[in-house]
Amino acid sequence: MSNRFEFEIESESQQAESASVLRPMLAQRARQPPSEIHMHYRVLACDYDGTLATHGRVDDATIAALERLLASGRKLLMVTGRELDELLGILPQIHLFSWIVAENGALLYKPATRQIKLLGAAPPGPFVRALKRRGVEPLAVGRVIVATWEPHETVVLETIRDLGLELQVIFNKGAVMVLPAGINKATGLMMALREMGLKLEETVGVGDAENDHAFLSVCGFSVAVANALPALKKRAQWTTHADHGAGVAELIDRIIRDDLPAPHASLAPDRSFYFRGPQGKLNLCAPNLTTFMQLSEGVDNDTWLHHLGRHDFSTWLHDALNDESLAAEVEAIEERKDLTPAESRRLVLEAMAKQSSSRPSIK
């Protein structure tokens, strides 16, 4: 059995004593409303097309999963490239979301009050007229966004250049979206979270396509659904087994079950990492990534190499911390035979430090 599941066994008298103490505590916890129970991740930010929706529609099972997440005391955000009006026409359950980040980050909508906040300027009239003259069709013009499809990106870029406009082009599975410079899903998400009084590190993000890179990269935990583009899967911390809405439901059930442990959140004893060494003489417990890094700097080379050679580090990262990308990076280091103990230790700790510090907060 892997060392991460090894922990001290209590005597029968100790177990009885522990049970007498824990029973009323657990009963009290069960009576608490979900919002009062500690959780690290408080909001789920979802892309729409290709993530929540299949062919533009969200099925009943996915809606039920969203309702389960809300019942746990957490919040929902949508982060989509769609225009608000078309979204309102296809999603009757839009009220489940605290805020909608629409037009790829350019517009905020609060369903509870129907409040709209524009985060960018309206499309320049000369730009839209020039695209129409040049035969760009279809052409959708939103409150801020202008959108068409490939292969019109060349004409779009030439028109921006010819008119000397400060606009950017964002691609999304064949869609070509034009927005003011500096606006994307990440900036829109940050504004929505600020409205809610929540932080990026408290946010789980899930998506499937190119335009989701921006907002997933700033979330506390990033997830790709199974049908996502390979490049997005590579950068996400976890990829669901199911696709589209079923993948989101899978993620939601995992969030509710174990809150997707964060680098600084403490794990239960049976999921913590234990530095025991080749002779089992040590019993150093690391309940989270931060403590693991601190202990790693002090253990002797024999202990370090013992766990490194057994791939214990990557196994723990994958199974207990649910961080597939970091686990893969560490496993590659574990497999190298050309490294000294000091070199392998430095590389592992650098990979972990990069992951731990890569989630900015809202000031």
Name the average pLDDT for the chain. 87
In this predicted structure, the answer to whether residue 23 has a pLDDT above a threshold of 70 is no
Residues 94 and 201 occupy one common structural domain: yes
Quick: pLDDT tens for 178-200: 999 999 999 999 999 999 999 99
Asked if residue 7 belongs to a domain, the reply is: no
195 and 325 within one domain: no
Q: Please compute the mean of the pLDDT values over residues 240-250 and round it to a whole number.
A: 96
Tell me how many degrees the CA angle 203-206-212 measures, rounded to the nearest 5. Answer: 105
Mean pLDDT computed over 65-73: 97
Examine the domain organization and report whether 175 and 283 are in the same domain.
Answer: no
User: Is residue 29 situated within a structural domain?
Assistant: no
Q: 114 with 226, same domain?
A: yes
C-alpha angle 81/61/184, rounded to 5°?
A: 15
Q: Is the pLDDT of residue 98 over 90?
A: yes
Reported for 238-242, long-range contacts at CB under 8 A and 24+ positions apart, including other chains, are 238/322, 238/323, 238/324, 239/324, 240/206
Q: How many CB atoms lie within 10 A of CB 248?
A: 27
List the one residue out of 91, 89, 96 whose CA is nearest residue 59.
91
* Per-residue pLDDT, 264: 65
> What is the number of structural domains in the chain?
3
Instruction: Please say whether the beta carbons of 136 and 152 come within 8 A.
Output: yes
> What number is the average pLDDT over the span 78-99?
96
Tell me if 148 is assigned to some domain: yes
What distance in Å separates the CA atoms of residue 270 and residue 329, rounded to the nearest whole number? Answer: 24
Tokens, residue 252: 């939601």
140 and 225 part of one domain: no
Do 108 and 231 fall into the same domain? yes
| Assigned domain for 13 exists | no
Predicted confidence band at 263 (pLDDT cuts at 50, 70, 90)?
A: low
Predicted confidence band of residue 2 (pLDDT cuts 50, 70, 90): very low
Write the CA distances from 23 to 29, 34, 267, 268, integer angstroms. Answer: 10, 19, 20, 17
Asked if 87 and 94 touch (Cβ cutoff 8 Å), the reply is yes
Tens digits of per-residue pLDDT, 24-54?
A: 444 444 444 444 446 889 999 999 999 999 9
Query: Looking at beta carbons, which pairs linking 165-173 to residues 24 or more positions away fall under 8 Å?
Result: 165/124, 165/127, 167/127, 170/81, 170/104, 170/210, 170/211, 171/210, 171/211, 172/81, 172/104, 172/209, 172/210, 172/211, 173/50, 173/209, 173/210, 173/229
Q: Judge whether 293 and 349 are in contact, CB under 8 Å.
A: yes
27 in a domain, yes or no?
no
The residue behind tokens 């000397």 is 164
Residue 273 and residue 318 in one domain: yes
d(CA 206, CA 221): 9
pTM of the predicted model as reported, rounded to 2 decimal places: 0.69
The rounded distance, in Å, linking the Cα atoms of 229 and 289 is: 28
Q: What is the CATH number of the domain that holds 144?
A: 3.90.1070
Residues 95 and 201 in one domain: yes
Q: Which residue has the tokens 């007229």?
A: 129
Structure confidence at residue 10 (pLDDT): 38
> Are 108 and 194 contained in the same domain?
yes
pLDDT digits (tens, 9 = 90+) for 116-160: 999 999 999 999 999 999 999 999 999 999 999 999 999 999 999
Rounded Cα distance between 66 and 323, Å, is 23
Residue listed under structure tokens 């207990």: 320
CATH code, 105: 3.40.50.1000
**Do 351 and 237 fall within a single domain?**
no
End residue of a domain, out of 258, 279, 313:
258
Which pLDDT belongs to residue 198? 95
pLDDT at residue 275, as a whole number: 95
Residues 296 and 152 occupy one common structural domain:
no
Answer whether residue 37 is part of any domain. no
The confidence band for 356, taking pLDDT boundaries of 50, 70 and 90, is low
> What is the reported pLDDT for 135?
95
pLDDT digits (tens, 9 = 90+) for 202-225: 999 999 999 999 999 999 889 999
Is position 155 within any domain?
yes
Angle separating helix axes 312-319 and 324-335, nearest 10 degrees: 170
pLDDT for 357 equals 57
Task: Return the pLDDT at 36.
Answer: 40
Task: Indicate the residue among 258, 291, 316 that finishes a domain.
Answer: 258
Q: Provide the residue count of the chain.
A: 363
Mean pLDDT of 87-109: 97
Assess whether 75 and 194 both reside in one domain: yes
Q: Tens digit of pLDDT for each residue in 277-324?
A: 998 889 999 988 888 998 999 999 999 999 999 999 999 998 888 788
What value does the CA radius of gyration of the chain take, rounded to a whole number of Å?
Answer: 24
Enter the tokens of residue 91: 């999603």
Residue 288: give the domain boundaries. Answer: 269-356
Query: Would 296 be classed as within a structural domain?
Result: yes
Q: Among residues of the chain, what percentage have pLDDT more than 90?
A: 72
- Among 230, 258, 286, give the residue marking a domain's end: 258
Of residues 2 and 268, more confidence is placed in: 268
SS percent in the chain: helix, strand, coil, step 5: 45, 15, 35
